[in-house]
Structure 1
Amino acid sequence: MILIAESGSTKTDWVLVNDQNEITMFKSMGFNPFFHSSEFIAEKIKENVEFYHASKNVERLYFYGAGCSSNEMNQIVKSGLSLVYPNSLITVDHDLLACALSTYKGEPAISCILGTGSNSCYYDGQTLREEVPAIAYVLGDEGSGSYYGKKLLRDYLYNQLPSSIKEDFEYQFGSSKSEIFENVYMKPHANVYLASFMKFLNRHYHHKYVIDMIQNGMNEFIKIHVCCYPEHKSVKTHFIGSISKIFERELKSAAENNGVILGDIIQKPVDNLVNYHLNYIKV
């Protein structure tokens, strides 16, 4: 029995595959070693009783997660998983690798994440290469949920929102400057908090303010995170994540404007990730 996990900062998709290749799926909160300790990860997994009991006899565990970008960070997650699955052979790697594997079709491609955060890589089936680093939501994450949420809150605090959007924002959230500051600067998981405003922006999608914001963010992501690859005009560029799927029209426009060959846009990559493991890896 194997367990495959694809974890962003907001949620984790878990897929349990038994010896007959029968699949059972579960969800949990997202785990990121920059924000969560080994003990926290173990505690939250065990709290999901149905999932824990179904998966406790796992022999192989593949975990791909946001923030799992160094041996030190990977060890935090691996130690937490080992507390839950002491008899399992555990592999922890970056969610960017999961992105590459879930979009791999036997030919080199650029693979991108547009979810709570954003990132990109080039993958040829053997080697994964990044041209620019992911610098997280404070400095980067262009085109992501946290990026757009930050812009919305900034415009609200600067009193630059269109009146109809401002009125609805105050009706929905009643947010004061102190409340926003507390969530952004004092509480954990500020990136998830910022990205949570995407539902609100999507509700106002047809307003020019939102359309322009999304389009500008997509253009910025393409220019920084796709056009940096010498191959960007000769290979397909695939996308995973909710933001890429919800705002597919703006993404297509940004790709076309920059001469990028758009490939697949996948909201939920875990199904493709499972297929990759079953087809390409001896599990």
Structure 2
Amino acid sequence: MDKAVIFNVFDFVSFHFCKALLNNGVEVNGVILDMNQKEPYLDEKRLEVGRNANFIEYSLTDWEEGNDQPTSKTNVIFSFYDLYMLHKEKILENESVTNPVLKYLNEQERKDLIIFLLPSQLVTRSKFSNTLNIFTDFLKKANLPAEEVQLFYLPTLYGTWQPETFLFQRKILTSLNRSVQVQGEREDRTDALFIDDALETMLEIIESKKPGSYLFESGKKDYWKLCAKYLQLDGNQLDSEFREKMVGNRQIVKVPVKSVTPIEDSLSKQMEHIQQLYSNIL
């Protein structure tokens, strides 16, 4: 991969993708879909990637106006997972946003692979089905050839920069006497993946260029509950309404991550990052 376009590049998983690709020498165009939407810690995130000559940040308008034909085919990464977990999915109902994105996705000479990151609830029976329909409707409108698309279905992801909409982050923040804003619960608590572990496996599949649908999992029994226990969350009480059976779909390949970082190491990294972040802000 030589070049990638990442929509809403400063969202949680998108940002980790951006950093990983930059570390691999990939040129990344980060496109912000709504410049009016407030992004927590935006200045700090820009500092992490802004000095890299391979990174260019665009507003959607500037990207659309200056989007010349690239010299090499481009991978596209669009995280519906982030939109869902950040309660920003209604942006996909705004035609001024979706029309230029859909136009770009359908210009075949520009693309290599299109990677959609999706909440795992899309392959489970979920009480959020009406909300999730926004994503399936977008995919239907895109009507992309199957050989050009990889669909990555993801359970709870945790690690540095995890938003407050996740229980792990809220627990860590409250333990540091920080206030949090609570929105409706959305994460899939049947499994959990450390973002670094998930990225390693996702990038391998992207490099394979093999299209298809992939459901990522830890391969560990009750792993979300084990993480919750480490943080002293009441996992038994919290996950009961989320433990649903997967809808049968033979076309979706279950993919255990290649390696699983020990819980104490992965969550300690997240906690240390929060402490450092707040000390820098203060």
Q: TM-score range by the shorter chain?
A: 0.3 to 0.5
User: Structure 1 length as normaliser, TM-score?
Assistant: 0.33
User: Structure 2 length as normaliser, TM-score?
Assistant: 0.33
